[in-house]
Amino acid sequence: MQEQVHRLEMLDEQLRIKVYKNVSFQDAQQLSQTYLFRIIQELLNNIIRHSHATEVNLQLVRLGEQLLLTVEDNGIGFDIGQVKNKGIGMKNIDYRVKALGGTMRVDSTPGKGSMVSIEIPMTSIFPSTHS
């Protein structure tokens, strides 16, 4: 994930991505690791392609028995009503979140940036002995 962040910042010199996490994934199930990486990758790629953001905050935080993933940007935002028929990237994110037993919420207003908030049960990511 850090490598992905570094590459994106190199592609767009105006973009700064701040990452905060309080959980290690070395004991996570491999499929869960892959799904989380792909979710984050797609969210960051959407920001690069569409938002014209200069700042992104990415948080990956364990809160009790939930993993909270939030990605927030200061870009141009969008009208959520016009994105009801999601593109393939958002459909893939939605599929992976649901496959992990999670939920996703998207908040955005034109001119005010956007935020994607995802909650996933820790038991979906770590074997039951590590939850």
Mean pLDDT, 10 residues at a time, the chain of 131 residues: 79 88 89 94 91 95 96 91 72 95 94 95 80 43
pLDDT at 103: 97
Distance from C-alpha of 47 to C-alpha of 55, rounded to nearest angstrom: 10
**DSSP assigned state of 48:** I
pLDDT at 131: 43
Parallel, antiparallel, or unpaired: how do β-strands 103-108 and 114-121 relate? antiparallel
Q: Number of folded domains in the chain?
A: 1
**In terms of residue numbers, what domain contains 47?**
2-130
Write out the two tokens for 71.
């990605």
Which residues touch 94 (CB under 8 Å, ≥6 apart)? Answer: 86, 104
Assign residue 39 the CATH number of its domain.
3.30.565.10
